[in-house]
Chain A
Amino acid sequence: MNRAPFTTISRDPSPDGPASTAARARRKCDAPDGMGGQRDRAGLARWVRRNLTAHGFLIGSVLCFAFFSWYPMVREVILAFQKTRRGRTTWTGWRNLQQIVHDPAFWQAWRHTLEFTALALLLGFLAPFLVAIVLNEFRHGQGYLRALVYLPVMLPPVASVLLFKYFYDPGYGLFNNVLHTLHLPTSQWLQSTHTALLSVVIASTWMNMGSATLIYLAALQGIPGELYEAAELDGAGLLRRIWHVTIPQTRLVLSLMLLMQVIATMQVFTEPYLLTGGAGPQGSTTTVVYLIYQYAFNFNNYGAAAALGLVLLVVLAAFSGVYVRITRRGDD
């Protein structure tokens, strides 16, 4: 890919470039203290006055981030190495981490989270992409179809989950009724260790695929039609056009969405919490974030909850780092 060389861009506002600015700065610094200091102070005051409004707005948002994002993150890291007993908070070193690793639910939760992520990617990554490709082919009524696909996203998650809870009920649920009517074998859905996690993934995909579909659709519509025409002239069929034109042209969006989806699905909580009560049959839908919730709010063990949160953060950060490095290498 050809890129404009960054070296040609100068952010220095001076007409004669950074070199002359530096020279002027040196001259000012070399000036006698009194004159230079006064000019500095006057200049600074002028500069402050000119930028006061902008920094006023900036301080508001910075404080918001500091108070509601950065401070809790710092506190979480601190909490991960502390324990409070009888009102006395002490440093425990790695003990919280040792404690969570020795919890029988720890590895189970990680296994389920990774399984959920893999299944969610298989369904939740491919399905919206395929739906977007199909939608992109429609010449008429695309707006209605887009609204239809996006509709589940507009439903409150709790309403969607309750809807699926009803669909999945093995006794009076919609899915088993349909299967029964078609003389097909019914399923226990959420109430079986074999199908509970998959059922949660299906519900989650249905609830969340609208946004991804629209993003993919926007990317697809940005592909120049000439590329497809050229491919067609070269004798490429539908699959070859998707493989050689669609995927390379949307690679950037696809890779970004993959990263975001992995980060989001690894933090899954709402769907299993509402559909199976969190743990599910024999703990088969226990996820890492549900375990964090249990530690914090049911076991009152904030240290362990923070430690597990930290482990999740490190895992996701490491994954993101490696992923970005690999995809960058691919770009180069």
Chain B
Amino acid sequence: MSVRRKTIRYRKLLAATLVAGIGLTGAACSDNGTGGTGGGGDANASAPLDPKTKVTITIDCMPPATKKPELKEWNEDVAAFHRSYPNVTVEGRSTTGQCEDPAAFAAQLKGGTEPDVFYTYFTDLPQVLDAGQAADVTPYVTARTVPTLGDIDPTVLNALKDGGKLYALPTSDYTMGVLINRRLFQQAGLNPDQPPTTWAEVRADARAIAKLGNGIAGYGEYSAGNNGGWHFTAEMYGLGGNVVNSTGTKADVDNAAGRQILQTLHEMRWTDDSMGQTQLLKWGDLQKEMVAGKLGMFLAAPDDITYMVETLGGHYEDYGMGPMPGGHATLFGGNDYMFKKTDSPDQIKAGIAWLNFKTLTMGKGQFDYARTKADGLPVGLPQPEFYTGATKRQDDRLKAASATMPVDNFRPFVDHPVPGRAEPPNAQQIYKVLDNAMSGVLTDRNANADSLLSTAQSQIDQILANGQ
């Protein structure tokens, strides 16, 4: 046989080996592709974790090394938890920046590589269910395993349910309001203890602040990265509107409330010149402007202040909050921990025990305000606010006793609670469309609100009909 033919045969052998190898590698790396949700089934789910069973759970959102006080508290909590549950090993997964990076999280879900107990936003539930990565924890979460369960706001728990099944436990929640720069309010001769509660007041205050000059804007708004659509939705809720009809099948933006929002923003931008010239802003941009003393107001959640102080170097005493303009409703959201579909019943029980200790027990974990204060971390923000009844009263009392910031700055927000409303279906696609309406009025002097809303209405209808 010639060398050439041997080569061919050898190449065939090599190719076959490679193909087999690649196939096996591919099979090993591919997702399982099938399987329903709602796993973690255990006939004895409500029974406590067997103390003889050795369990290891991985949990994300462990503070990174750069956040020394938070990491110290995490390690203390892990040690304290281990004393109560010596059979459970908690392995934290550290994340830099925010606990969830949406793009990385989406990839994790696709690959099924999220930790055993993983951090999500309330709005992630459909995405996690579609990926087949969520375990049904309904039978595991009871008054025995989570003693404060009865005092958790049902609206919050409902956000974590699908088809009556519970998939997560909350750790924090927020409602949106108007975040103000108290220093600029004072400089403009406005009363920072009385933030605006209507769009007419927002416009008037913004005009007064912008008159300070020196590149200071009275009011800031997002119009890029789907954030503009997110805020437009919150503003619609505030005026009693919505962005889709009650059945979620048709758009509902081309109406009086939508027109009022776009026209007000257009007039603030172009007639009053109270919104600055730089637009197409995303989350993070307005916070920087406010910390730099260049912005008077924007719509935000209380934890934006934490970011502004801890990351950007702002000062708590400079900021305050008022309720959502209009006051009919406000967009609510929050974060929670879900359980991986492949978790064993013991891992789910251990995860629930950890979350109960770390995030759902007064005086422990995140509610150990005395320790938080001693570690130089902020206490006093109106967040989380998902408890009701006796637990809420206890939380308020503990928080007030250890407050590290002027809690009166948030009095207008806390004393005028606005009902929270969840995000619409297909939220991100709808926000993408509404971004165009927002960027339209903020970047085009000749923008026509009616035309923008009409286009948005038909495009959202198309998205909903398309069933994306």
Q: Are A and B part of the same complex?
A: yes
Across the two chains, which residue of chain B brings its CB closest to A37? Answer: B1
Q: Is the CB of B103 within 8 A of A297?
A: yes
Residues of B within 8 A of A307 (CB): none
Q: Is the CB of B226 within 8 A of A298?
A: yes
Q: Is the CB of B36 within 8 A of A28?
A: no
Q: Contact partner of B277 among A66, A88, A104, A170, CB < 8 A?
A: A170
B407 adjacent to chain A (CB < 8 Å): no
Residues of A within 8 A of B109 (CB): 300
B207 adjacent to chain A (CB < 8 Å): no
Interface centre among A70, A280, A282 (most CB of B within 10 A): A282
Give A57 Cβ to nearest chain B Cβ, in Å: 13
Q: Which of B5-13, B70-78, B190-198, B253-261 contacts A (4 or more CB under 8 A)?
A: B5-13
A256 adjacent to chain B (CB < 8 Å): no
B133 adjacent to chain A (CB < 8 Å): yes
Q: Which of B52-60, B123-131, B385-393 contacts A (4 or more CB under 8 A)?
A: B123-131
Interface residues of A (CB under 8 A from B): 12, 21-22, 24-25, 28-29, 36, 39-40, 43-44, 47-48, 55, 59, 62-63, 66-67, 70-71, 74-75, 84-89, 99, 102-105, 169-172, 188, 190-193, 276-283, 294, 296-302, 304
Interface residues of B (CB under 8 A from A): 1-7, 9-10, 14, 18, 21-22, 25-26, 29-31, 33-37, 102-103, 106-107, 109-110, 127, 129-133, 215, 223-226, 276-282, 341, 426, 428-429, 432-433, 435-436, 439-440, 443-444, 452, 458-459, 462-463, 466-468
Residues of A within 8 A of B10 (CB): 44, 47-48
Q: Contact partner of B33 among A89, A282, A299, CB < 8 A?
A: A89
Given A28-B2, A85-B130, A297-B106, verify A276-B440 contact (CB < 8 Å). Answer: no
Q: Is the CB of A43 within 8 A of B436?
A: no
Q: Is the CB of A67 within 8 A of B280?
A: no
Q: Is the CB of B277 within 8 A of A169?
A: yes
Give A255 Cβ to nearest chain B Cβ, in Å: 34
Q: Is the CB of B25 within 8 A of A71?
A: yes
Q: Is the CB of A170 within 8 A of B278?
A: yes
Across the two chains, which residue of chain B brings its CB closest to A275? Answer: B280
Q: Report the Cα distance A188→B269, complex, angstroms.
A: 14
Q: Contact partner of A299 among B429, B444, B458, CB < 8 A?
A: B429
* B interface secondary structure, majority: helix
Give A86 Cβ to nearest chain B Cβ, in Å: 5
Residues of A within 8 A of B282 (CB): 277
Q: Report the Cα distance A190→B440, complex, angstroms.
A: 13
Q: Is the CB of B224 within 8 A of A278?
A: yes
Given A87-B35, A169-B278, verify A63-B468 contact (CB < 8 Å). Answer: no
Residues of B within 8 A of A300 (CB): 106, 109, 127, 130-131
Across the two chains, which residue of chain B brings its CB closest to A84? Answer: B130
26 A-B pairs with C-beta separation under 8 A: A25-B5, A29-B1, A43-B1, A47-B3, A63-B22, A67-B25, A86-B129, A86-B132, A88-B34, A89-B31, A89-B34, A99-B466, A99-B468, A104-B459, A104-B463, A191-B277, A191-B280, A276-B280, A277-B224, A277-B225, A277-B281, A279-B439, A280-B280, A281-B440, A283-B435, A300-B130
Residues of A within 8 A of B223 (CB): 277
Given A71-B26, A279-B435, verify A88-B6 contact (CB < 8 Å). Answer: no
Q: Report the Cα distance A136→B424, complex, angstroms.
A: 60
Other than the known A47-B7, A89-B34, what 16 A-B pairs have Cβ atoms closer than 8 Å?
A24-B2, A25-B5, A43-B1, A43-B3, A63-B18, A66-B22, A84-B131, A87-B129, A104-B463, A188-B443, A281-B279, A283-B436, A297-B106, A298-B102, A299-B426, A304-B468
Residues of B within 8 A of A280 (CB): 224, 280, 439
Q: Report the Cα distance A231→B7, complex, angstroms.
A: 54
Across the two chains, which residue of chain A brings its CB closest to B6? Answer: A44
4 A-B pairs with least C-beta separation: A87-B132, A277-B224, A25-B2, A171-B277
Residues of A within 8 A of B31 (CB): 89
Give A145 Cβ to nearest chain B Cβ, in Å: 35
Give B451 Cβ to nearest chain A Cβ, in Å: 10
Q: Report the Cα distance A87→B443, complex, angstroms.
A: 42
Q: Is the CB of B462 within 8 A of A104?
A: yes
Give A293 Cβ to nearest chain B Cβ, in Å: 8
Q: Report the Cα distance A86→B36, complex, angstroms.
A: 6
Q: Is the CB of B130 within 8 A of A277?
A: no
Give B299 Cβ to nearest chain A Cβ, in Å: 18
Q: Report the Cα distance A77→B446, complex, angstroms.
A: 44
Q: Is the CB of A87 within 8 A of B280?
A: no
Q: Is the CB of A282 within 8 A of B1?
A: no
Q: Is the CB of B466 within 8 A of A102?
A: yes
Q: Report the Cα distance A328→B341, complex, angstroms.
A: 56
Interface centre among B35, B107, B277 (most CB of A within 10 A): B277
Across the two chains, which residue of chain B brings its CB closest to A291? Answer: B432
Q: Is the CB of B444 within 8 A of A21?
A: no
Residues of B within 8 A of A63 (CB): 18, 21-22
Q: Report the Cα distance A192→B31, complex, angstroms.
A: 44
Residues of A within 8 A of B35 (CB): 87-88
Across the two chains, which residue of chain A brings its CB closest to B25? Answer: A67
Give B218 Cβ to nearest chain A Cβ, in Å: 15
Across the two chains, which residue of chain B brings its CB closest to A297? Answer: B103
Q: Report the Cα distance A280→B223, complex, angstroms.
A: 9
Residues of B within 8 A of A62 (CB): 18
Q: Is the CB of B224 within 8 A of A28?
A: no
Residues of B within 8 A of A21 (CB): 2, 4
Across the two chains, which residue of chain B brings its CB closest to A193? Answer: B444
Residues of A within 8 A of B103 (CB): 297
Residues of B within 8 A of A298 (CB): 102, 226, 428, 432
